[in-house]
Amino acid sequence: MGRTKLSFAETISKTQVLATALKANSTQLEKRGIDNSFITELEKLRNESITLNDEQEKLKADLKLKTEALLEKINLLEKKYAEAKKIIKIDFAQSQWVEFGIEDKR
């Protein structure tokens, strides 16, 4: 069986725990390449990931608001279009409807 991928929150949490343990055991780990520079980079990547995630969540919220606004405008647009189309069908002969982009048969 394959490993399941960690959620963002789990990755952030586990990385913090790892960084703390790496610092506490840095003397022993230095000979394996896990030095202060490595730990600093790990923590930097963690912090940058948190910042980017926060920005992404803000963008998702903004997108949701924009989508709602767009749907509202499209609804109003469709109502105006239908109103104009109805009047055109009453006031103009069917042969002239195409001038208005109306291709209805009736």
pLDDT of residue 4: 78
pLDDT < 70: residue spans in the chain: 1-3
Average pLDDT, the chain: 95
Q: How far apart are CA 105 and CA 95, in angstroms?
A: 10
Task: Quote the tokens at residue 65.
Answer: 């608001």
pLDDT of residue 104: 84
State pLDDT tens for residues 72-98: 999 999 999 999 999 999 999 999 999
Cβ-contact 26, 36 below 8 angstroms: yes
